[in-house]
């Protein structure tokens, strides 16, 4: 694979380290000034024993520990019914010691994801995927809890392009978790967005027009240089395994090398930013609940 050291890689690891330290210091100062207030608490709900999901939950737990956030895990068997899962969420909604609730996705096929996400109290919806928070995001409200991956994507882009106004952005993929939400968020920054999905006509031609391309389809190497215009910024959200079991993105990195001016790597790009934004959202909900005001979050 070609060495990308001469290209301006958008390192999520580097930016995450910086933001996490800012969050850690800010939280410490908040607790010192508000000695009667407990630390923020994030509760994660894990259904089943999916290896990747367990790994992600472990990463999140460790990051909470590093920042001074309390974290809890509710583990449920994969056979749990939808109604039983909803009862668990109801209890967490009513638990005054919990500030943020995260249901780790994906869920088993017999559980309706949207029903479950809709059940989370919007004031504890740390992933920002409830209909209420999605509506606030659509309305460009500052009160919206923004989904963690889109929030991390925008933070990455703004490191190299702080003024997004008027930029044309192609978003490949239309999932609620990434595609739809990142389009809403970017439009709130006055970008013009194009949504590209499996039913789009002439998708490659549309993508070639974009100043910024965000790819989140879950298909290894599907985007090559023929999709990217010269000096575009490319954000690769994909997490896939190649034939050698290496982690790769949705973008063919070797192919787009000459075209891009900035490219987020996989791994080490969007992934670390997603976890960092989860921490940021947790602290934001905690501050709002206890009416704590600081310069950060």
Asked whether residue 52 carries a pLDDT value surpassing 70, the answer given is yes
Give the confidence band of 5 by pLDDT, cuts at 50, 70, 90. very low
Asked whether residue 191 carries a pLDDT value surpassing 90, the answer given is yes
Please indicate whether residue 236 is annotated as part of the active site: no
Convert the pLDDT of each residue in 129-179 to its tens digit.
999 999 999 999 999 999 999 999 999 999 999 999 999 999 999 998 899
Mean pLDDT score of the chain: 93
Give the confidence band of 242 by pLDDT, cuts at 50, 70, 90. confident
The topology (CATH level 3) of 36-130 is Rossmann fold (3.40.50)
pTM listed for this prediction: 0.93
Paired sense of beta strands 240-241 and 247-248, if any: antiparallel
**CATH no. for 148-270:** 3.40.50.720
Worst-scoring range by mean pLDDT, 3-12, 42-51, 73-82, 136-145? 3-12
Q: Choose, from 26, 99, 125, 127, the residue flagged as catalytic.
A: 127
Q: Which two tokens stand for residue 3?
A: 């060495």
- Percentage of the chain lying above the pLDDT 90 cut: 87
Asked whether residue 6 carries a pLDDT value surpassing 80, the answer given is no
pLDDT of residue 297: 59
Paired sense of beta strands 8-9 and 168-172, if any: unpaired
Worst-scoring range by mean pLDDT, 149-163, 206-220, 235-249? 235-249
User: 36-130 and 148-270: same fold?
Assistant: yes
Please indicate whether residue 60 is annotated as part of the active site: yes
Instruction: Please give the average per-residue pLDDT across 229-252, as a whole number.
Output: 91
pLDDT of residue 294: 75
Residue with tokens 């106004």: 165
Q: Where are the domains of the chain?
A: 36-130, 148-270
Instruction: Please give the average per-residue pLDDT across 187-206, as a whole number.
Output: 97
Q: Are 211 and 170 in contact (CB under 8 A)?
A: no
Convert the pLDDT of each residue in 74-130 to its tens digit.
999 999 999 999 999 999 999 999 999 999 999 999 999 999 999 999 999 999 999
Please indicate whether residue 127 is annotated as part of the active site: yes
Q: Which two tokens stand for residue 131?
A: 């209909």
**Integer Cα distance of 218 and 223 in angstroms:** 11
Q: Which 8-state DSSP code applies to residue 18? A: H
CA distances from 81 to 21, 71, 91, 110 (A): 40, 24, 16, 8
pLDDT of residue 2: 45
CA distances from 137 to 142, 159, 181, 212, 238 (A): 8, 22, 8, 21, 23
């Amino acid at each position: 694979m070609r060495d990308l050291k001469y290209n301006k890689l958008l390192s999520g690891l580097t930016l995450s380290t910086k933001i996490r330290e800012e969050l850690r210091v800010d939280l410490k100062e908040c607790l010192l000034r508000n000695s009667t207030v407990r630390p923020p608490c994030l509760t994660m709900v894990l259904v089943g024993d999916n290896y990747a999901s367990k790994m992600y939950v472990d990463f999140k737990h460790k990051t909470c520990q590093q920042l001074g956030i309390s974290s809890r895990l509710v583990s449920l068997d994969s056979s749990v019914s939808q109604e039983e899962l909803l009862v668990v969420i109801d209890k967490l909604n009513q638990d005054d010691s919990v500030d943020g609730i995260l249901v780790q996705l994906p869920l088993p096929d017999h559980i309706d994801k949207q029903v479950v996400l809709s059940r989370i109290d919007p004031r504890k919806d740390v992933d920002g995927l409830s209909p209420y928070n999605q509506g606030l995001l659509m309305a460009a409200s500052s009160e919206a809890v923004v989904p963690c991956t889109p929030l991390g994507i925008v933070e990455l882009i703004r490191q190299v392009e702080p003024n997004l106004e008027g930029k044309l952005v192609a978003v490949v993929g239309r999932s609620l978790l990434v595609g739809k939400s990142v389009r809403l968020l970017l439009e709130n920054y006055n970008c013009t967005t194009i949504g590209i999905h499996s039913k789009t006509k002439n998708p490659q031609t549309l993508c070639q027009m974009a100043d910024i391309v965000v790819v989140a389809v879950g298909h290894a190497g599907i985007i090559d240089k023929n999709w990217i215009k010269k000096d575009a910024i490319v954000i690769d959200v994909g997490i896939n395994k190649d034939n050698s079991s290496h982690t790769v993105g949705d973008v063919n990195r070797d192919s787009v090398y000459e075209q891009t001016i900035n490219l987020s790597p996989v791994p080490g790009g969007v992934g670390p930013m997603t976890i960092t934004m989860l921490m940021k959202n947790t602290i934001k909900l905690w501050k709002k609940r206890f009416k704590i005001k600081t310069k950060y979050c």
